[in-house]
C-alpha cells in the first residue's frame, strides 16, 4: 500500500514498513548470528592458525562509524568463549578484511559463531579457515 511494503508484527500487532536500507527493527538492533558446523580432524586435535570471514566491507554509516563483527568459539556447542571483535570497514573502506589469527588448538572439534549487531548492511560471503591436523 502507498508504494510501501507494510507488515504486521506477530507479537504486538504494530504495523511496520519493510525497507531494504533500514537495518533496525522498530529502532532496536537486529542480532544476526551464524555458526559453523563443527570443524574436526577425525576427532583428533586440530589447529586453527587463521580464520577469515569475507563480508561486504566498508558498510559503516553516520550512525555506526566502525561496524564490528564478533567471533566466539565453542568446544562443546553449548558454552562459548569471550567475544573477539573485528572491524568490517568504515564508510568506503572496501578492502577491510576480518581476520582472526593464532586461534590455537582444539582437542577434538570446534564450532565458530559470528555475531553482527550493528545497524549496517549484513552481507556474509564466506569463511576461509587455515586448518592443520595433528599435535604439531
Position 68 confidence tier, pLDDT thresholds 50, 70, 90: very high
Is the pLDDT reported for residue 113 higher than 90? yes
Would you say 133 and 105 are in contact if contact means Cβ atoms under 8 Å apart?
Answer: no
Instruction: Say which residue, 35 or 27, is predicted with more confidence.
Output: 35
CA dist 42 → 16, 36, 49, 131 (Å): 49, 17, 18, 13
CA 117 – CA 103 distance, rounded (Å): 23
Is the pLDDT reported for residue 120 higher than 60? yes
Segment 65-74 mean pLDDT: 97
Instruction: Say which residue, 43 or 135, is predicted with more confidence.
Output: 43
Is the pLDDT reported for residue 67 higher than 80? yes
Amino acid at each position: 500500500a502507498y508504494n510501501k511494503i507494510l507488515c504486521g508484527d506477530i507479537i504486538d500487532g504494530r504495523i511496520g514498513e519493510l525497507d531494504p536500507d533500514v537495518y533496525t527493527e522498530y529502532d532496536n538492533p537486529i542480532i544476526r548470528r551464524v555458526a559453523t558446523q563443527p570443524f574436526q580432524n577425525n576427532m583428533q586435535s586440530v589447529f586453527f592458525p587463521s580464520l577469515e570471514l569475507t563480508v561486504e566491507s566498508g558498510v559503516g554509516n553516520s550512525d555506526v562509524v566502525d561496524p564490528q563483527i564478533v567471533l566466539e568459539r565453542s568446544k562443546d556447542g553449548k558454552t562459548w568463549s569471550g567475544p573477539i571483535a573485528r572491524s568490517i570497514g568504515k564508510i568506503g573502506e572496501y578492502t577491510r578484511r576480518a581476520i582472526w589469527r593464532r586461534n590455537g588448538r582444539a582437542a577434538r572439534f570446534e564450532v565458530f559463531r559470528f555475531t553482527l549487531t550493528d545497524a549496517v548492511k549484513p552481507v556474509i560471503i564466506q569463511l576461509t579457515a587455515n586448518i592443520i591436523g595433528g599435535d604439531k
